[in-house]
Structure 1
Amino acid sequence: MKLVISGYYGFNNIGDEAILASMIQSLREIQSDIEIVVLSNNPEFTKSTYRVEAVNRWNLKAIIKALKESDGLISGGGSLLQDQTGWKSVPYYSGIMYLAKLLGKPVYMYAQGVGPVDRLLNKWIVKIVLNKINRITVRDEESKQLLERLKIKQNISIVPDPVMGFTSENLNSDWMKEQDFEKPVVTVSVRDWKGLEDFKIKVAAALDTLVDEEDVEIAFLPMHGSHDYETSLQVAELMQKHSKIAPYDASIEEKIAIINYSEFLFGMRLHSLIFAGVVGTPFLALSYDPKIESYSNLTLQPVAGHVEKDDLNDLSNVLLKNYRSREELLDLMRGTTEEMKMTAKETANLAISIISSSNKSFLKSKAN
């Protein structure tokens, strides 16, 4: 079987790269000889990192060729169908799915988080395209409800984020060893958001309070390359206390290892929270998007507030309280994540099954 995978890959976003790594790992566990072609912004990086074929996601001719030679398309995972960070995502990813269907290929939507979709044109595009594809799986109830409001009539299943099924035999961080931390470590994941500065000041003050009260060390973990490194640096410079910033170009395994080593995570990026779920590190989330609340609710972990709302004035006390409750939070998390880890790999099995059966049905109809 030969599959094309479409998503936000080759952009140095560790969360999306972890999604791709997890999907490839799960697909290969089910079918070791599966051939995979990834639509990537950086094809050479994707080829060398994951041992797959890759084509430029902006090269229409190459995309058409890859789809023609494939058995089907996997779209996902991640937050592809949304217009919160820009209006172009919905037309692009929907367009790839529509093109696959025009070429007679089955399309499987893999554990996506859908929305927000606010533009009328984008709502129409999602409705038209998703009603034509073969199977839809989403990673939370909110995504399913949004698609149902958009009158999607296809079968919609809720499945865990692909990264929940990620396994690694080598969770090691040379950076952590070099730091020689002597106190408990709290990992912090922050990102910039619409030029807002107020939340960074409050985060810095809350981290200072935590260091004062609990005698911990702060390690910032940039999840999206230099973008998050710059935000981490800004918050670190606002702090009165000393902190450290992990390398922004560390591997997926090393970033998971850093969270695994930590006592607690204060996280803004979704996949920092998901990495915490994978290794069993309790967390407090800081939201900028409904997907943060969705995952926090699934794992029974608290949300401090939203960066765009005036609900962070007591952030220092909220962070302190939840850090002190980390053992109870860990117990709550374990009750939910174990099942998610087991079922995450089943999504890959369903993908292969749906695409295989769709092709058999197509060949049978042609023969008749």
Structure 2
Amino acid sequence: MHIVLSGYYGFDNVGDEAILFSIIQSLRKLQPDIKITVLSNNPKKTSETYDVKSVGRNSINKIIQALKKSDGLISGGGSLLQNKTGHFTIPYYLGIIKLAKLLNKPVFIYAQGMGPINGLLSELLVKTTLNKVDQITVRDEASQHLLNDIGIKQPAKIVPDPVLGLDPHDYKHNCQPINELNQEEFITVSVRNWHTKYPFNEKLAHCLDLLVKDGYGIVFVPMHGKHDKIKSQEIAKIMQEKSYISPADTSLQSKISLIGESKLLIGLRLHSLIFAAINYTPFVAISYDPKIDAFASLCEQPIGGNVESDNWNGQTLYQQVKNMLSSYKRNTDILKEKVQVLQHQARETPELALSVFFKRHSPSL
């Protein structure tokens, strides 16, 4: 069997790379001889990293040839069908799906977060395209409701983010923040740049300073290469106390392990929260998007503030963290109970995908 994977791959965004890694791992676990071609912004690196075939995500002729030789397309996961990050995002991913359907290939929508979909034309494009795919899975109720509202006929099944299916216990990190900070316990921090009229750098820096005075080390974990590294450096410079920024170019397995070794995570990036969750490491989220609120609620972990609101500060965030630490075992037990269910469910999604392709399976050309 030969499957083509389409998503936001090859851009050095650890969250999306973790999605890709988890989908590949789960498919190979069920079907060891499966052939996988990934549409990537950096085909050479993707091919070397995941031991797959990869073609340029904008190389139309190569994409067509890959689809022709395949038994189907997986679109996702991640937030692909939305126009918040750009006007060409929705047309691009729908275009890949349309190509697959024109070639009479089955299409499986894999744990996508849908929306926002702004504009009647975008809604119409999504509606007409998704009504022709073979199965849709989404990662939250909001995505399910959105598809219903715009007129998607077939039901969209809610499944967990693919990364929740990873087993982190064999992963090791290759940095030594504890030794550098001379503190026994440390708290990891994942930040991202976000344009808002309520700057949050000072709030977060104040909270982190208070935690250092309590005896905790602070370790920033950049999830999107140099972009998050720059934001981490901005906050670290505001801090009065010492902190550590882990290397931006370490593997996603290293980042998962590092977050897993920490006492608690403070995070803006969704997949930093997911990395914490699969390690059963408690977290306090800082929200910039409903998907952060949804995941925190799913895991019964608190929101320390929203970047679009001014109703929180460094002291209130610090108090949220202290509350989590003061009831540490209880909060860890709650998280473990919630996440174990999600982990089991996440490992069922690749079975759904393969069942779609087996129904239409024929020898590859």
Same fold (TM over 0.5): yes
The answer for the alignment partner of 2:37 in structure 1 is: 37
Instruction: State how far apart, in whole Å, the 1-side matches of 2:180 and 2:17 are.
Output: 26
- 1:325-357 deviations in Å (ceiling 9; x for gaps): 333321211111111111211111110101221
Helix, strand or coil at the partner of 1:128: helix
The answer for the alignment partner of 2:14 in structure 1 is: 14
Q: Structure 1: where are the runs of 5+ without partners?
A: 361-368
Instruction: State how far apart, in whole Å, the 2-side matches of 1:137 and 1:73 are.
Output: 14
The answer for the alignment partner of 1:346 in structure 2 is: 348
CA change 1:188–1:154 in 2 (3 A) is same
- Using the TM superposition, give the Cα deviation of residue 180 of structure 1 relative to its aligned residue in structure 2, in angstroms: 6.6
The answer for the alignment partner of 2:155 in structure 1 is: 155
Instruction: State how far apart, in whole Å, the 2-side matches of 1:179 and 1:48 are.
Output: 32
Equivalent residues of 2:107, 2:133 under 8 A apart: yes
- 1:133-189 deviations in Å (ceiling 9; x for gaps): 000001111111111111111121111111111125632122027637433100000
Note the 1:111-260 alignment, pairs <5 A. 111-168=111-168, 170-176=170-176, 179=180, 181-194=182-195, 198-212=199-213, 214-260=214-260
Instruction: State how far apart, in whole Å, the 2-side matches of 1:181 and 1:357 are.
Output: 57
CA change 1:183–1:150 in 2 (3 A) is same
- 1:269-321 deviations in Å (ceiling 9; x for gaps): 00000001111100000111111111111111111121012222333333333
Instruction: State how far apart, in whole Å, the 2-side matches of 1:244 and 1:136 are.
Output: 42
- 1:36-87 deviations in Å (ceiling 9; x for gaps): 0000000000000000000000111111111111000000001111122222
Instruction: State how far apart, in whole Å, the 1-side matches of 2:293 and 2:181 are.
Output: 34
- Using the TM superposition, give the Cα deviation of residue 210 of structure 1 relative to its aligned residue in structure 2, in angstroms: 2.1
Aligned pair 1:109/2:125, yes or no? no
Aligned pair 1:291/2:291, yes or no? yes
CA RMSD of aligned residues (A): 1.5
TM-score by length of 2: 0.95
TM-score by length of 1: 0.94
Instruction: State how far apart, in whole Å, the 2-side matches of 1:282 and 1:87 are.
Output: 36
Instruction: State how far apart, in whole Å, the 2-side matches of 1:135 and 1:99 are.
Output: 16
The answer for the alignment partner of 1:332 in structure 2 is: 334
The answer for the alignment partner of 1:357 in structure 2 is: 359
Instruction: State how far apart, in whole Å, the 2-side matches of 1:358 and 1:6 are.
Output: 19
Instruction: State how far apart, in whole Å, the 2-side matches of 1:352 and 1:91 are.
Output: 26
Equivalent residues of 2:80, 2:89 under 8 A apart: yes
The answer for the alignment partner of 2:61 in structure 1 is: 61
Equivalent residues of 1:288, 1:307 under 8 A apart: yes
Instruction: State how far apart, in whole Å, the 1-side matches of 2:49 and 2:197 are.
Output: 35
